[in-house]
């Protein structure tokens, strides 16, 4: 699974890389299946999405307040549904 990430999510991306995930900075990612970011929707995160996700789309995953283990579980399930 290729994960694109923003600069503010770099520490979590490094941790996920150590767990076996392939992570690339958003500016370099092509065909990514997940987009990891630390900002909120209100910070204009959708304006910074790399233009070429995987054909099936990409999972948008906010990492603020989540441990690397929680992020890995979400990525393995390939689903994220925040409650409220």
Name residues of the chain where pLDDT drops below 50. Answer: 84
Quote the pTM value: 0.79
Over residues 25-41, the pLDDT tens digits come to 988 888 888 999 987 65
Q: Where are the domains of the chain?
A: 2-77
Gap between the Cα atoms of 20 and 40, Å rounded: 26
pLDDT cut 70: percent of the chain above it: 73
Gap between the Cα atoms of 77 and 44, Å rounded: 26
Gap between the Cα atoms of 73 and 42, Å rounded: 25
Residue 17: burial class (beta carbons within 10 Å; 0-12, 13-18, 19+): middle
Question: Mean pLDDT in the chain?
Answer: 83
């Amino acid at each position: 699974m290729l994960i694109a990430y923003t600069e503010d999510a770099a520490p979590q991306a490094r941790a996920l890389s150590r767990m076996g995930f392939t992570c690339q900075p958003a500016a370099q990612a092509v065909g990514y299946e997940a987009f990891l970011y630390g900002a909120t929707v209100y910070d204009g995160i959708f304006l910074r999405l790399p233009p070429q996700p995987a054909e099936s789309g990409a999972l948008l995953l906010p990492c603020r307040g989540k441990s690397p283990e929680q992020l890995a579980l979400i990525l393995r399930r390939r689903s994220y549904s925040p409650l409220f």
